Amino acid sequence: MERSKNDVWVGLFVMIGLAAILFLALKAANLLSLNFEPDYRVSAKFDNIGGLKPKAAVKSAGVVVGRVESISFDDKTFQAKVTLAMQSRYSFPKDSSLKILTSGLLGEQYIGIDPGASDKVLANGDTITSTQSALVLENLIGQMLFSKAAEGGSPAPDAAGGAK
């Protein structure tokens, strides 16, 4: 009787430990956000979202104020439509702007919101029109290489000042 009672307690302890590890793994992978507050949805269109993913943070002044809810493609404007779930305790002016930023050099991408100056605030279903697309590192490197190749295409002057 005593041994089976200990087995039950050990089994219960192991189950709680596994649940805690699962919780931490989901939280670290940004797949779980425990937010019991009501939120409102706003949308925005971007020319290029880079590596932005659903559940990515929406930050203002470094504070998480919402999450990316969904990403879809608008085949009429050929832009990415991003829907954001903003926490209702944070209200932003209607003329706020969004930009896709990267945490660190190779970190994950998130959306930064810069508040505007309008007296009217964003409400459920509003669309933010002022957006700045993601900076794609591969495009920047390609542009740099292209500009260096264009500079190197013309003959360089020699020490006497004439062309080689």
Q: What is the pTM of this model?
A: 0.67
- Given a cut of 70, the residues of the chain with pLDDT beneath it are 1-2, 29-36, 153-164
| Domain residue limits, the chain | 1-32, 39-148
User: What does the pLDDT look like over 63-92, one tens digit per residue?
Assistant: 889 999 999 999 999 999 999 999 989 999
Tokens encoding 134: 């993601």
pLDDT of residue 97: 92
pLDDT of residue 162: 54
Write out the DSSP string of 6-48: HHHHHHHHHHHHHHHHHHHHHHHTT------S-EEEEEEEES-
CB neighbour list of residue 101: distance below 8 Å, 6 or more residues apart: 109, 110, 111, 112
